Structure 1
């Protein structure tokens, strides 16, 4: 609320206009001088009116700060993002800075309009970015502008009105059961030095875990007595820092415990036996990491190793090309085909919400529902 102070023949009106980019409260003031001949009552009424108008003007934010978007964004990284966000998210946002600043960095935060955001989207589309990447860029800008709203620097976020061009998302292709069986069989028949990869893709198919979650597994996460594997961490690569690091999984729900069949536990026992032999060969040069998936010297397997090996192996064997994430899609589609409900699939995959699972695998759920209806029709048959 504005404060009014009488100073001789004038009145000083002061009000808070939110906070600057460094978090300090911004106070604005104005001076009101009554016209000659006004009565005390008229002056009182007019000065209160001016106070309300001035406060409204400040609340709308247009004069709170002249910080340009790039300046404000860098302050946001320092004062908020680096303290609150996961390292993986930070890395992704840093990778978006150059393109974003080129489009919006020169505009004052309080002057960024919905049209500016829409133009940014058009530019990204023209540059050939896929729809999901375009949305990630807008999400990056939106997070920063939401922070500006919270600090009362602006009154609304112009990103909320953005329109995205309609795009035909490519239908996801899944490995079939037969393809997975053949691939796993060939992986296990390969050179024993490549045993970690055979176990890695066995777990990928059976558990549907993300690559980083599998690479982050340690032996203490494996309960051999109860056939349970616990996902507690993930192993990532930061392109901004050019280094690998361990962090918590992608979402809170990604931390989960999964019941696994005996043959998967047997695969893990084979992997542990392989590590024991390697430890004996390396002697004092063995790196103690406790990771399931390691290099020959015991150090953690690199984040690119599974993909690189899979590409080389499938090409050599004449198999259909796949990515590490293909096994996650296979796992999800297999669960859905088996009639498993969406919440159980969500829990197994570690998605934050069931809506995420439905959105990603809507086609698989639709096919499963069609088969269910056909089964009912066949059973009733009238």
Structure 2
């Protein structure tokens, strides 16, 4: 008994003087109040055992009691429960749904739970082991899906020449840019199924004559797999805090890392950016012109653009402030919330071209307010529906896609326009710290982590150019 100074053990005798039970006591503390607490437990002596056997079992019981009491005293005691992963995960998800400002977390967690429930569903929480979790991680990292690949089998150059139409007109009619059309003239190049269909439809030729179609199995991205892992870690961490499990076996402490493919971010190159800006400045719809300009000149997120109000903008001094996000979630509809992170709340100096665009738009906006009169919803938002109600966050994406198709530009989403803007700022030589702050990232390491591969490509181009310059 000398090893555990906080414990005591008292035998209980019957009238015959035989020991019928032992009363164990442990002097600890209440983890909630930090005050002294005495933990007790009784062990009844089984009948039919020898003195030696009784002493052996008594010691085993005593050791378990002390371990249990120490855990309770330190606030890490695991409750005895037969709760399954499914039951706890559903309750956890509901608590996330009821949290204020947790719309994005709820939507992503709900999607991740589909695959998590397939694997862990009916397992008791207490039976989820490191081996089981590692097998799950190995499974999601090995998953594949089928991707259709279209390869140029025969050059379409002969079709372009015989058509006697300018390349930019052909590209515009196909809803692609001239660079994509040029790629389709090179045998072995890969293009999208949508592009191949558009080209074949324009020239009225069979697909299989000029393009070969194959399918390949592709692994899910590292970002997708990490998202699933993060949700599992959060669920089991909540279970641990509720004293339903002692350890969170989903963490890196017990398992190996997550792998997957790293998808290249599709953005505009320098030539395409200049063309986009040129066409943007020619756009007659001032709402679209202003939104596209905010994407490319400042690299704003779509939610930040949709959340802008006139009070956030100082047109006289060319300053724009990001104060809110307006987003759409399937489960919640359109929601206005705080920016993505504390660094997302920021003040940005606007380029002169953008300031002039917004000044022009402000005049139009005020005119629309007068024209609609009492029908105006009386919102201060920059971007509104015809009624004056807030613009739906999905609308700019549709506008951008139609704008790109109309002008024969490569299709990229609003968020990829943000990537384009940030990449071009880095290539222009703007210091990484300034770019990071303007992008609303927590620090420059995040910016470098996202855009390193773009910079490596440009570094390789620079090396090749200099190599040619020095060639003798």
Please classify the TM superposition score into its range, dividing by the shorter chain length. 0.7 to 0.9
Asked if 2 retains the 8 angstrom alpha-carbon contact of 1:336 and 1:368, the reply is no
Any stretches of 5+ residues in structure 1 without a counterpart?
20-26
What is the 5 A alignment of 1:1-382? Answer: 6=10, 8-9=12-13, 10-13=21-24, 30-33=41-44, 49-55=63-69, 64-79=80-95, 82-83=98-99, 86-124=102-140, 125-126=142-143, 128=145, 129-160=220-251, 161-163=254-256, 166-191=259-284, 194-241=285-332, 243-367=333-457
C-alpha separation between the residues in 1 aligned to 2:368 and 2:143?
Answer: 52
Partner secondary structure for residue 361 of structure 1 = helix
8 Å contact kept, 1:94–1:240: no
CA RMSD in angstroms, aligned pairs only? 3.8
Alpha carbons of structure 1 residues 223 and 180: separation in structure 2 relative to 1, 3 Å = same
State the secondary structure of the residue aligned to 2:99. Answer: helix
Q: Which runs of 5+ in 2 are unaligned?
A: 14-20, 32-37, 146-219
Q: 1:30 to 1:276 in 2, by over 3 A?
A: same
State whether residues 433 and 444 of structure 2, in contact with CA within 8 Å, keep that contact through their aligned partners in structure 1: yes
Q: How far is the alpha carbon of 1:230 from its aligned partner?
A: 0.7
1:258, distance to aligned residue in structure 2 (A): 0.6
CA distance in 2, matches of 1:4, 1:78: 44
- Do the aligned partners of residues 138 and 296 (structure 1) sit closer, same or farther apart at CA in structure 2, a change above 3 Å counting? same
Residue by residue, what CA displacement relative to the aligned partner does 1:126-163 show, whole Å, maximum 9, x if unpaired?
26343311211111111111122233332322222444
Shift of 1:198: 0.8
TM-score, reference length from structure 1: 0.82
Do the aligned residues in 2 keep the contact of 1:82 with 1:90 (CA within 8 Å)? no
Residues 114 and 158, structure 1, Cα contact 8 Å, conserved in 2? yes
Question: Contact (CA 8 Å) 1:4, 1:11: kept in 2 or not?
Answer: no
Q: Is the radius of gyration larger for structure 1 or structure 2?
A: 2
Q: CA deviation at 1:168?
A: 3.9
User: CA contact under 8 A between 1:197 and 1:306: conserved in structure 2?
Assistant: yes
